[in-house]
């Protein structure tokens, strides 16, 4: 009789174990309640992320893991925090605090992916290195923020008239590190170098071995003697002798 009873208990355990998984018995709420709690969590995390940024970016939250305990707590008791500093983007661990008992709070961790979207200028065609940006090259679009913090997207006023340092594909966001001002003098340009010798001004033919804007010091080479000098850029055709290149 005892063996029969043990077999019955074992069979009941097998049915419970495989028909009602352990995690479901723990705290599986009805589907509509789960959806409501997931929506609440997303809203709370989204508000926390928005409060930590001064931009007008839009935010989308994807929950990667949610402990079952959060489906049993009161909505109003949930608060959010994170150890990340500055604008939050990408996969992040959030601490979710909730009311466990009347005077006792507890917390658990939720993993969520934060997707940030920003209105920026993108290229409407692929362009080659040294291309000078025109207004017609750019289109305003909403893009997911996937560029590093060090690469700030440029506005149209900062982009037009600049040239690109490398080939850039259509649809890419233009950032400051991709652009440079067009030099007044390019490397390899033939120039005149003014030299003041005891109130006597002489002019020597030189070749630029650097690039720069007005006032910059660049290396130049005398086309006759092959001697190198350091000279200051005066205009797009003339440099002023400063010293011999050592």
pLDDT for res 14: 53
Q: Reduced to 3 DSSP states, what percent helix, strand and coil does the chain have, rounded to the nearest 5?
A: 25, 40, 35
Confidence of residue 24 (pLDDT cuts 50, 70, 90): very low
Q: Which two tokens stand for residue 131?
A: 């291309």
Average pLDDT rounded to a whole number, residues 106-120: 88
Token reading at 184: 């007044």
Best CA proximity match to 147, nearest among 82, 84, 57: 57
The beta strand positions in 175-216, using DSSP E, are 179-180, 190-197, 200-208
Which one has a higher pLDDT value, 204 or 54? 204
Please state, as a whole number, how many other Cβ atoms lie within 10 Å of the Cβ of residue 183.
Answer: 18
Please check whether residues 112 and 30 belong to one and the same domain: yes
pLDDT tens by residue, 37-88: 888 888 888 888 888 776 678 888 998 888 887 777 666 678 888 888 778 8
Query: Is residue 89 located within the same domain as residue 160?
Result: no
Domain boundary pick from 155, 180, 205? 180
pLDDT at 193: 92
Closest CA to 158 of 137, 133, 139: 133
Please give the residue range of the domain that contains residue 164: 124-180
Which one has a higher pLDDT value, 170 or 13? 170
Q: What is the pTM of this model?
A: 0.58
Question: Scanning the structure block, which residue is given the tokens 């998984």?
Answer: 21
51 and 128 both lie in a single domain: no
Q: Which pLDDT does position 239 carry in this prediction?
A: 93
Locate all alpha helices (DSSP H) within 80-206, ordered by sequence: 156-159
> Which of 116, 136, 158 is where one domain is finished?
116
Q: What is the CATH number of the domain that holds 156?
A: 3.90.1210
pLDDT band at 197 (very low <50, low <70, confident <90, very high): confident
pLDDT of 28 reads 47
Question: Do 47 and 97 belong together in one domain?
Answer: yes
Q: How does strand 138-144 pair with strand 163-164?
A: unpaired
Residue 20 banded pLDDT, cuts 50, 70, 90: very low
Provide the pLDDT confidence category of residue 8 given band limits of 50, 70 and 90.
low
Mean pLDDT, the chain, as a whole number? Answer: 82
pLDDT at 170: 92
Domain count of the fold of the chain: 3
pLDDT exceeds 90 at position 98: no
What pLDDT is stored for residue 26 in this prediction? 36
Residue 20 counted as domain residue: no
Report the percent of the chain where pLDDT is more than 70.
83
């Amino acid at each position: 009789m005892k063996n029969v009873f043990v077999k019955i208990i074992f069979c009941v355990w097998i049915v419970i174990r495989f028909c009602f998984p352990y995690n479901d018995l723990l705290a599986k709420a009805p589907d509509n309640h789960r959806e409501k709690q997931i929506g609440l969590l997303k809203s709370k995390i989204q508000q926390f992320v928005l409060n930590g940024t001064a931009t007008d970016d839009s935010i989308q939250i994807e929950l990667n893991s949610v402990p079952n305990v959060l489906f049993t707590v009161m909505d109003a008791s949930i608060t959010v925090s994170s150890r990340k500093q500055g604008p939050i983007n990408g996969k992040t661990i959030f601490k979710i605090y909730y009311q466990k008992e009347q005077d006792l709070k507890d917390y658990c961790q939720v993993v969520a992916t934060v997707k940030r979207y920003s209105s920026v200028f993108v290229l409407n065609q692929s362009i080659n290195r040294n291309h000078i940006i025109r207004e017609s090259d750019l289109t305003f679009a909403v893009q997911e923020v996937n560029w590093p913090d060090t690469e700030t997207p440029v506005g149209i006023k900062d982009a037009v008239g600049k040239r690109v340092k490398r080939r850039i594909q259509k649809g890419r966001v233009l950032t400051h590190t991709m652009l440079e001002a067009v030099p007044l003098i390019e490397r390899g340009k033939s120039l005149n170098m003014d030299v003041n010798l005891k109130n006597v001004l002489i002019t020597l033919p030189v070749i630029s071995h650097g690039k720069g804007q007005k006032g910059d010091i660049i290396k130049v080479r005398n086309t006759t003697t092959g001697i190198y000098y350091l000279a200051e850029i005066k205009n797009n055709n003339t440099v002023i002798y400063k010293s011999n290149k050592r």
